[in-house]
Structure 1
Amino acid sequence: MKQKFREELLQKRRKYDRAEEDALKIKERFLQLPEIHRADSILLYYPHKNEVSTLPLIEELLLKADKKLLLPKVNGDEIIPIPITDLSSLKKGYAGILEPDGISYPVEKIDIVVVPAIAFDINGHRLGYGKGYYDRLLKKIKGLKVGFAYDFQIVDKLPAEPHDIPVDLIVTPTRIINTKGGE
């Protein structure tokens, strides 16, 4: 059932024609969060397979000297957060996703992590690609966990397993969902 649902949503995401416009709306909503102003370090993802594009956000945050911007690098079964200062040095890594090289940033010092998903439910549970990379990472993150999604990627309930780590907020083009209750 999970696989069929995953395939249906991926198909919908591939055909979505407002992705660029919605990614900019998501970026603006995200930048208005009060936690952004207090954050020293932010881990974003590099967009892959029609995920909400973080590129406009990455480019904007790279201009802010007061923020340490991190991107993930897959190393074995783990995601390693690595600081970046530009996008030109990224190289193809796991699954063809562009990744940084460099020295790992301490996971416990990450203030905000932004994660992609195929779907989120209103409780913050995510449906990913099924490899568990982000669940293993999110277990170690003490900071704010944020999901980026198009509105059609939000569902009422996803099957959750004990190892699944929910996000605290989900940012869509039209709303911010506080998964701990309230919008």
Structure 2
Amino acid sequence: MTTPREHLIDWLRDAYAMEVQAEKMLSNTADRLEDYPALKARLQQHVVETRNQASQVEQCLHQLNADTSMLKTGVGAITGIAQAMSGIFASDEVVKGAVFGAAFEYFEIINYKALITTAQAAGEAGIAAVLERILEEELAMAEWMEDNLPAVLRQYLATGEKR
């Protein structure tokens, strides 16, 4: 039977790969958003947060005498790049990117809630506290996306600006 600690390690590896994926996706998308300065700035801010989150998750793994998974991390990086690049040819890239970005934030939120519960079950209160801080950043980003998506849509609809 798999223990909560073993699940925690496995799922922290998933979270690390998820953050690598998010960083690639966010940074590549932000680079192309010249006509949407508020969105670009918030994405760039979240890129910095995401890199820090990945580092924190990696430190949690080290506290458990574990390391990241090269396979999961590699797949996450490739997926993040592919997701960001998939919008290049869409005339409504900013809209699709913003909607997908908001959905991805909620995906991360649910994952961190599961990780917090697992860390608590494994008796890893310190790791749970780190994950709770990361969760707060993800919640703030999701809220920003939700609050600002209407303005991005109005700008796109008014101007038809791709980026």
TM-score by length of 2: 0.27
From the two aligned structures, give the one with the greater helix fraction. 2
TM-score by length of 1: 0.25
Structure scoring higher RCO (CA < 8 A, sep ≥ 6) equals 2
Q: Report the structure number with the largest CA radius of gyration.
A: 2
From the two aligned structures, give the one with the greater strand fraction. 1
